[in-house]
Structure 1
Amino acid sequence: MKRFQPQPGFVVQAYRFALDPNASQEAALRSHCGAARAAYNWAVGWVTASWWQRTAEETYGVAEVELTEWRPWSLPSLRKAFNEAKKTDSRFAQWWEENSKEAYSTGLANASAAFDNYAKSKNGKRRGKRMGAPRFKSKRKARLACRFTTGTIRVEADGRHVTLPRLGTIRSHEPTASLLIRVQAGTARILSATVRHERGRWFASFQAEVKRDLKRVTRPDVAVGIDLGVKTLAVMADSTGEIRTVPNPRHYDGALTLLRRASRTVSRRQGPDRRTGRKPSKRWEKANSALGQLQHRVANLRTDALNKLTTAVAAEYGTVVVEDLNVAGMLRNRRLARQIADAGFGEIRRQLDYKTRQRHATHIIVADRWYPSSKTCSGCGAVKAKLPLHVRTYECDVCGLVLDRDDNAALNLAALAAASTTGTGVAGDRDIPQAVSKPRGADRKTRATRPRRKTGRGGQVAQPCRTSGGQKRETVLKPKPSRFGDVMDLPGRNAWNAESR
């Protein structure tokens, strides 16, 4: 086996294989995943104990300098505290030696990341939906997973077995040749491995640093604009004027009859009940397993179709133009949510992003979310004030162009590839700037999100006060209720005193 030498051109890639463990190996896998969950719950309880203690002390009027110190949640601090507690804590003292240290490190690392996300979200340093405080993981609901970063992690030379720390050699359900060939050739190095239980089967995912040579695309000088939709999955128009349509396979709708029947069968069996302690019957477990297999098949079909589509696009065109869709907002439409989720708009963009950069080094352009690709005429550049979704044919009021709205949008997206050099973004004219009309003088026709109320520091909501006559007097900040009392601004993982470090 050749020695691995890091050099430019390496990317981090994952290889996933299904496993066929025997009874003892499956018990060991469940034990390791349970140990990760137990370590996570211990870390959450250990950190939040100081939060509750500080809240209680503040209610008794204890001075700020005399309050209980914050407990740090950085991974080194959690590891140090856990190593001291595992030998005396009754929850770990009897069995912690049965599992690899990587199992406990997995839970502690997950807890550290959860507290980091919560603190950044609370202090306004994290984008996206507001995150809540970490909570304990239920034994019944938690997903079984464990990550290994040190020790013996390899794929065996026979191509049908993998070796993991403390778990030994486990047979794989499928050949591991795709990773084994690269490891033997010295063009890959395994960094870590994660075992996970999904839909009744164990999987092992190997994270490897792989040397990947860039491949030249078929048409490097051609740009393509991709307009995603529900009626047709994608309409692709390139800079030469060629338009291709990719039909929507609708995998979920195709299996909906079988899924409904399987779900009805599960509901008619005797399932588990936490209130009474009732255990599920054998027939319920069998029916629930059949339902999971149907859902697994739909997910696999969708993944296969999206990978084939994105691979073909990334290997053919030198420039790819996609839209910046607000998929989370689109899913709020109860009439189209199921079709949008089944199409996988976000997954298409994610795959195109890394495949164009890492495999072919081509350009990917993301159109602005407010770019009116459907309302703009691809012939003359005129922009319609309104174009309802049910209108599927674009009719230009200026030049009289009649075209399918999806084809028109794809042509406009393809023209954006030349906009950086010509200064326009209109498919019909790339040299003469066009005056784009702005109804009501506004740049944005619609909102991407709902307007939020003004908030102050620490999530305080600004509420106007009114006088007896109903007029606004002034604005005051009303504290938003917190799970931990008045603890609104939490320190970061590094904002600790010398003793805590």
Structure 2
Amino acid sequence: MKSRYQYRIYPTPGQQTELAKLFGCCRVVWNDALALIKAIPQGEKWPSNAQLQRRVITQAKQDPARNWLSGVSVVALQQSVINLGTALKNFFESRSRKRKGSRVGFPRFKKKLNRQSARFTQRGFAIKGEKVYLACLGARSLASFADAGSHRKIGKLKTKWSRPLPSEPSSVTVLKDCAGRYFLSFVVEVEPVTVEPKNQGVGVDLGLETLATLSTGEKVKARDTRTLDRKIRKGKRKLARAIKGSRRRESLRNAIARIEARQRDIRKDTNQKLASRLVRENSVVVLEDLNVAGMVKNRCLARAISRAGWRDIRIMCEAKATLIQDREVRVISRWEPTSQVCSCCGYRWGKLDLSVRSVLCLNCGAEQDRDVNASVNIMAAGLADLNGQALSIVRPQSGAVACLSTHQESM
């Protein structure tokens, strides 16, 4: 199976200039090809990838307004058109319900200030030891630009090898984020490993202050990024008052982007470590299908829910489960009453206010923590569905629940 390995790179000022040219050319080729597709009248057949490449690359190089496209590798330009074709295919498959998951929108034009990328296949890059070379003028083979002069390639990129590559990469993508950082993302083939699980399964209830509550009773706290959040909001107020096109506005934009990147990295690191531990230690990980799109309509919690990364945790768990043998990630229905049922006796007491954090079941006398009780019910629902059974629920009666303690909590 294929996996991505990403590494930070530190290009020199000259290499940054060459990469800026490369990103700009790939962006122009994408936008030109998308404009041609949008200009086609409804009912007429769209051009193929080969036809688009001939019009926006080969013929465009002969135009004085686009002759600077010859200054970068044709491999990256061709991949830009291929990526557009893939985006269009995903859009139509999502529209016809052939593609699972959320709906995919129609491709949009790329902007200069957004994240920039350029993709190279095996004939556009080479790795020799710890040195990574990228083609600049479209060399015909790896040896032709790895051994040629500096005018034939971007040159050796200083790469922070945080871990070795498991196999020979089939492609590499050069990335530049909004904070001005550069990365190399390699696509490699990996083989699943065998790790002995500690537990049969675990249920996970996701939240905000407590990022994850496990059915074992463990609670994983979310990293506190409120200080960074205040800095971002303060910086954006300053940015709104700055004059457009001024150096001060550009400096503020870069500063805000760096703080936002740091906040994303903290959240991603926490979610990655949590997903890795859940998949490594448990043979079955049971999650809840949360209606995040509906939750963000709550204007009081929209920002916190959007930045919690609940969907990312699910995607990470599903991806990591494919890398370890005998691992499975199950997602139960969002309509399961996990917070309305006693995990000890199955008595259903109904909906509770978010401020209620601890419950005393008057049917069996068990004192339940709201989040732990929900995680146990999530695991029971996932394992019951796995065995083809149904979760037994006893219908409620009046006075079957008593609130022990309440305190205001966001989720």
**Shorter-chain TM-score category?**
0.7 to 0.9
Task: Indicate if the aligned counterparts of 1:235 and 1:243 stay in contact, CA closer than 8 A.
Answer: yes
Name the CA distance, whole Å, in 1 between partners of 2:263 and 2:351. Answer: 37
Give the letter for the 2:188 counterpart: A
Residues 414-450 of structure 1, C-alpha deviation per residue, up to 9 Å, x if partnerless?
A: 223542448343xxxxxxxx454399xxxxxxxxxxx
Name the CA distance, whole Å, in 1 between partners of 2:274 and 2:377. Answer: 21
- Name which one, 1 or 2, has greater alpha-carbon Rg: 1
Cα shift at 1:400: 3.4
Please say if 1:168 is aligned against 2:154.
yes
Q: More deviation in 319-328 or 190-199? A: 319-328
Other-structure match for 1:148? 120
Please point out which of 246, 271, 275 is paired with 1:280: 246
Other-structure match for 1:190? 169
Task: Indicate if the aligned counterparts of 2:169 and 2:186 stay in contact, CA closer than 8 A.
Answer: yes
TM-score (norm 2): 0.82
Other-structure match for 1:223? 201
Helix, strand or coil: the match of 1:196? strand
Please say if 1:200 is aligned against 2:180.
yes
Name the CA distance, whole Å, in 1 between partners of 2:58 and 2:328. Answer: 52
Cα shift at 1:15: 1.6
Other-structure match for 2:10? 20
Name the CA distance, whole Å, in 2 between partners of 1:210 and 1:124. Answer: 30
More helix by share: 2
Task: Indicate if the aligned counterparts of 2:223 and 2:266 stay in contact, CA closer than 8 A.
Answer: no
Helix, strand or coil: the match of 2:190? strand
Task: Indicate if the aligned counterparts of 2:93 and 2:99 stay in contact, CA closer than 8 A.
Answer: yes
Distance 1:123 1:233, change over 3 A: closer
Other-structure match for 2:380? 415
Name the CA distance, whole Å, in 1 between partners of 2:324 and 2:2. Answer: 12
Distance 1:35 1:438, change over 3 A: farther
Name the CA distance, whole Å, in 2 between partners of 1:196 and 1:360. Answer: 31
Name the CA distance, whole Å, in 2 between partners of 1:132 and 1:90. Answer: 34
Name the CA distance, whole Å, in 1 between partners of 2:299 and 2:221. Answer: 23
Distance 1:405 1:125, change over 3 A: same
Name the CA distance, whole Å, in 1 between partners of 2:192 and 2:93. Answer: 36
Give the letter for the 1:226 counterpart: V
Distance 1:84 1:19, change over 3 A: closer
Cα shift at 1:145: 1.1
Helix, strand or coil: the match of 1:162? strand
Cα shift at 1:152: 4.4
Task: Indicate if the aligned counterparts of 2:10 and 2:158 stay in contact, CA closer than 8 A.
Answer: yes
Q: More deviation in 404-413 or 414-423? A: 414-423
Other-structure match for 1:355? 320
Please point out which of 235, 254, 264 is paired with 2:213: 235
Helix, strand or coil: the match of 1:179? coil
Other-structure match for 2:292? 327
Distance 1:124 1:307, change over 3 A: closer
Cα shift at 1:76: 3.1
Name the CA distance, whole Å, in 2 between partners of 1:89 and 1:125. Answer: 40
Task: Indicate if the aligned counterparts of 1:225 and 1:411 stay in contact, CA closer than 8 A.
Answer: yes
Q: More deviation in 140-149 or 300-309? A: 140-149
Task: Indicate if the aligned counterparts of 2:332 and 2:382 stay in contact, CA closer than 8 A.
Answer: no
Cα shift at 1:378: 0.7
Task: Indicate if the aligned counterparts of 1:33 and 1:145 stay in contact, CA closer than 8 A.
Answer: yes
Task: Indicate if the aligned counterparts of 2:222 and 2:270 stay in contact, CA closer than 8 A.
Answer: no
Listed as ranges, the matches of 1:12-51 within 5 Å are 12-51=2-41
Other-structure match for 2:53? 79
Listed as ranges, the matches of 1:314-393 within 5 Å are 314-393=279-358
Cα shift at 1:135: 4.4
Gaps of 5+ in 1: 1-10, 55-68, 183-187, 273-278, 426-433, 440-501
Distance 1:375 1:74, change over 3 A: farther
Other-structure match for 1:249? 223
Give the letter for the 2:232 counterpart: L
What percentage of aligned pairs have identical amino acids? 30
Distance 1:134 1:421, change over 3 A: closer
Name the CA distance, whole Å, in 1 between partners of 2:96 and 2:218. Answer: 47
Give the letter for the 1:153 counterpart: F
Residues 336-392 of structure 1, C-alpha deviation per residue, up to 9 Å, x if partnerless?
A: 112222321111111111222312432222112211111111111122333233322
Name the CA distance, whole Å, in 2 between partners of 1:377 and 1:170. Answer: 61
Give the letter for the 1:224 counterpart: V
Name the CA distance, whole Å, in 2 between partners of 1:229 and 1:343. Answer: 8
Give the letter for the 2:12 counterpart: N
Name the CA distance, whole Å, in 2 between partners of 1:314 and 1:307. Answer: 11
Name the CA distance, whole Å, in 1 between partners of 2:114 and 2:235. Answer: 24
Cα shift at 1:226: 0.8
Cα shift at 1:124: 6.3
Please report the RMSD computed on the Cα atoms of aligned residues, expressed in angstroms. 2.8
Distance 1:259 1:50, change over 3 A: closer
Other-structure match for 2:266? 301
Give the letter for the 2:224 counterpart: R
Helix, strand or coil: the match of 1:392? strand
Helix, strand or coil: the match of 2:14? helix
Distance 1:267 1:156, change over 3 A: farther
Give the letter for the 2:25 counterpart: A
Distance 1:317 1:42, change over 3 A: same
